[in-house]
């Protein structure tokens, strides 16, 4: 993300919007919502096994959920499930339909441009990187536009911004536009992980 690769190597934590914390240890990544009393750990074990467990924090830690995944099997199931399920949850739309007249979208820029914008919203203190919400909103402001104007832009993914409604992802594929709800995307990922679990005896 940063031009100085040595700085990247030293970063041990990433704090996003003061809401989510990612911490990096030896062969593991920890995810924690800062207002929650639990966190999740992904640990990369030998022989391509991914250990994922939930930790309830407190004087005595508890581990109510632990799952192991075969990374090779996970990769295969991602391809298989996307091929089988995506046609059922992607919905083609006409961005010129009058019902989208007042709908705005946030275009996600291509990788290099996205990194530049995130950098503008980021500061580093000791070994922690902090991404500030207000600064990121300012850095992305010019990428919010009416849906009807999308045909003038080359992009792959955008977010539909509709106050009070479920967030949707918009994909541009070969000049056509497809919607998918984040709820359906979450269900899709749950299916992939369920199929990739290592069953215990």
The whole-number pLDDT of residue 30 equals: 95
| Host H or E run for residue 183 | helix 182-196
DSSP state of 155: -
Q: Where are the domains of the chain?
A: 5-196
The whole-number pLDDT of residue 163 equals: 58
Taking the C-alpha atoms of residue 89 and residue 190, their distance in angstroms, rounded to an integer, is 14
Tokens of 136: 């990121």
pTM of the model: 0.71
The whole-number pLDDT of residue 197 equals: 81
Question: Which residue, 79, 67, 52, is CA-closest to 198?
Answer: 67
- CB-CB contact of 149 with 100 (8 Å): no
Low-confidence ranges of the chain (pLDDT < 70): 1-9, 162-167, 199-201
- CB-CB contact of 118 with 132 (8 Å): no
The whole-number pLDDT of residue 201 equals: 44
| Sheet of strand 128-131: strand arrangement | 62-70, 49-56, 38-45, 28-33, 20-25, 13-16, 128-131, 122-125
């Amino acid at each position: 993300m940063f031009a100085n690769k040595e700085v990247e190597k030293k970063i041990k934590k990433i704090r996003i919007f003061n809401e989510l914390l990612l911490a990096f240890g030896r062969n593991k990544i920890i995810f924690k919502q800062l207002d929650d009393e639990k966190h999740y750990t992904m640990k990369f074990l030998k022989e391509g096994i991914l250990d994922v467990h939930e930790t309830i924090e407190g004087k005595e830690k508890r581990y109510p959920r632990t799952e192991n995944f075969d990374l090779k099997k996970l990769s295969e199931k991602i391809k298989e499930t996307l091929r089988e399920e995506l046609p059922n949850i992607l919905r083609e739309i006409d961005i010129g339909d009058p019902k989208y007249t007042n709908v705005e979208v946030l275009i996600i820029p291509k990788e290099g441009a996205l990194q530049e914008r995130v950098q503008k919203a980021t500061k580093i203190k000791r070994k922690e990187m902090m991404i500030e919400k207000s600064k990121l909103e300012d850095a992305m402001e010019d990428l919010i536009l009416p849906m009807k104007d999308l045909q003038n832009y080359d992009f792959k993914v955008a977010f539909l911004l509709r106050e009070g409604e479920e967030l949707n992802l918009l994909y541009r594929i070969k000049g056509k536009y497809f919607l998918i709800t984040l709820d359906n995307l979450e269900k899709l990922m749950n299916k992939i992980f369920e199929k990739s679990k290592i069953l215990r005896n």
